[in-house]
Structure 1
Amino acid sequence: MILLTRLSGSPFVLNSDLIERIDSAPDTIVTLVDGSKYVVSEDMRDVVDAVRRHRAEVIALSEAVQIAAEAVHAPPPPPARERPSLSVVTPDEHRSEVNR
């Protein structure tokens, strides 16, 4: 949705996905896919810039949501490996192991 201003000065929000074309003759006229027309006080370039910003925000938010969802559903990290412990073998224990 983009914020625009009627010629009367009252603001309104328009679903930018429904814009079919924008004309400037000399007022800016936004025509929607259903044939509705809105005369706005913004310049044609300002309307186009607003649509571009809106679409960029949608893409950026989509990316942020996807990254957050992947973080939530990521597999847990592998468990920490235990270091092997060293044991002390006395000479008597060593002899008994060798003689077995």
Structure 2
Amino acid sequence: MIVLTRLNRSRFAVNPDLIERVQATPDTTIIMVDGATFVVTETMDDVIAQIVRFRAGVLATAARLVERTDDETSEPLPDETSDPVPEAER
């Protein structure tokens, strides 16, 4: 989610994946895929920068999760030819 500011200074969060377009006419207007529109105080460049940071954060988080999963699965597997139950425990 990105946080934007309406002209009355109230803040709200929006899912950037649901933004259809951003236009400056001269106020910055966010048009959502469902047709909802929001006029915000941020410039169009600021909104785009927030969207880029949001998506970069999503990708960075996904990469860290993949690395963590790879680290967990890269542990050596037990030798399949060895008996999993030690002789003393039988």
Larger Rg belongs to: 1
Q: Secondary structure at the match of 1:67?
A: helix
Give the CA RMSD over aligned residues. 1.6
Alignment length (residue pairs): 79
1:70 alignment counterpart:
70
List 4+ stretches of structure 1 deviating above 4 A.
Answer: none
Cα-to-partner distance string for 1:38-57 (whole Å, 9 max, x where unaligned): 11000000000000010000
TM-score w.r.t. structure 2 length?
0.82
Q: Distance in 2 between matches of 1:46 and 1:75?
A: 44
Runs (5+) with no aligned partner, structure 1: 80-100
Runs (5+) with no aligned partner, structure 2: 80-90
User: What letter corresponds to residue 54 of structure 1 in structure 2?
Assistant: F
Is 2:75 the partner of 1:56? no
TM-score w.r.t. structure 1 length?
0.74
Q: Percent identity?
A: 42
